Amino acid sequence: MAVLFLDICNFSARPNNTFDEQKATMRAFTIFFAEMIRTIEDYEGTVEKNTGDGLMAYFEDTGYDTNGCTRAVAAAMSLFSVHQNIIAPTLAAEGLAPINFRIGIDCGQVTVAEVGANRGFHGVVAIGITANIASKILAVAKMNQIVIGDWVRFFLPESWHTHIKPHTPASGFLHWPAGVEAPYAYYLLDAQWTLPG
């Protein structure tokens, strides 16, 4: 499956001291995350958790022509399109501070399981190096960027490769599977959906 991390940029800089400031932040987040989650689900993605200023979602492989990587990257581009055309104008119309975000995606073998106490807190988690790498890839992404791992690039349609550029500097982790002693490459996806007309 492909694992997607989304992070709101400069969240800690948002004013949240007073009740009115906190109320404004919650209103903006309600608008933002409602659209983000709906869009991810439109691409058959599963939102595993909301981290406060971001979220994690995964896209399982469902067949050769509908692999999780293609759907995850298409969803990521749609998230930015939805933000530009729906969320940003809505926030501006309500006088709310804009939201900017970044996305990191990687893919590989992941175990999804429910953990926690039987009668207390419990939740679904994705376990595996893929989630860790996706998180590290997110850390190198800048505002309004989509950064993908080498395995994601490998599984994308060939026609999409013209929109993929190597990201530098090199990552600080080695390529997997074990035995490949080369830095794991990651790439900037320089593409977006355009609306007709």
Whole-number pLDDT of residue 175: 62
Single-letter amino acid code for the residue at 33: F
Q: For each of the domains in the chain, give its residue range(s) and CATH number, in order of start.
A: 2-189 (3.30.70.1230)
Rounded to two decimals, what is the model's pTM?
0.86
**In the sheet where 101-107 sits, what is the strand order?**
46-50, 54-59, 2-8, 101-107, 146-149, 186-189, 164-166
pLDDT in tens, the chain (197 residues): 999 999 999 877 777 778 988 999 899 999 999 999 999 999 999 998 776 788 999 998 876 556 899 999 999 999 999 999 999 999 999 999 999 999 999 998 888 777 766 666 656 677 778 888 888 888 888 999 999 999 899 999 999 999 999 887 666 666 655 566 677 888 999 887 765 55
Percent helix, strand, coil in the chain, to 5, is: 40, 25, 35
pLDDT of residue 192: 75
Q: Which residues contact 55 (CB under 8 A, 6 or more apart)?
A: 5, 6, 33, 36, 37, 47, 48, 49
Structure token digits, residue 11:
């969240």
